[in-house]
Structures are given as C-alpha cells and as structure tokens.
Amino acid sequence: MNNGPLLPPHMPPGEAPQGAVEANQSKLAHINTYGDLPEFYVDYSFACRECGKVEVWTAERQKWYYEEAKGHIWAVAVRCRDCREASHGSGEVERIGESDGRTLD
C-alpha cells in the first residue's frame, strides 16, 4: 500500500488555510483519481521554467483551470506570464510527477 500524498502540493489535505479557495468537486468529475479530490486550492509559488522568476499561480486561477478548463490534476503552472506571452504556443501548465504508479488518464 502506498499511503503517500495523493494530491499535488497546492491541494493540501486537512483544514483550509487562510486564502484557500473551496473546490467544487462536482466539477472535477473528469479527474479519475479513485476518490481523491481536492477540497480546496491554495496559492502556489513556482519558479518559471524559462527565466527563473518566481510567480504565484493563484488559488482562483487553479480553480478555473481544473474546474472550467478541465485540466489534469497533476498539471501545474511552470511558466511566468512574461514567458507565456513571449513564446506563443508554450503552455501555462505542464504535468508534474504523480505520487504513485496509478494511471490517472
């Protein structure tokens, strides 16, 4: 049994911290994770893959991405706004590692 974390770091389990945005799990039905769905999102700081600038992927934007754009749960922002605008076609988000060997697609 793998009891490691089943959700990305910006979807921490437990009590919602200040600034967290509540998830609407009925809009997350496209995520096939055997029952592990986020209860809320929190702001996520990341270093841009292109230029290294630290930017925040806000909880509100995550909610839009996962619930409206139907993004993959293990996809997170990897490029800052400037680099996204400079290189058309480069995505805002990219899939990161998964916590175990489950097939998530």
- By CB under 5 A, is residue 48 in contact with Zn ion? yes
- By CB under 5 A, is residue 51 in contact with Zn ion? yes
CA distance 79 to 24: 26
Check if the beta carbon of residue 73 is closer than 8 Å to that of residue 62. no
- Lookup: tokens for 22: 């509540």
Of residues 64 through 83, those in contact with Zn ion by CB under 5 A are 80, 83
Please, which residue, 6 or 83, has the CB nearer to Zn ion? Answer: 83
Number of chain positions touching Zn ion (CB under 5 A):
6
Angle at 45 between CA 40 and CA 48, to 5 degrees: 135
- By CB under 5 A, is residue 37 in contact with Zn ion? no
Which residues contribute to the site for Zn ion (CB under 5 A)? 48, 50-51, 53, 80, 83
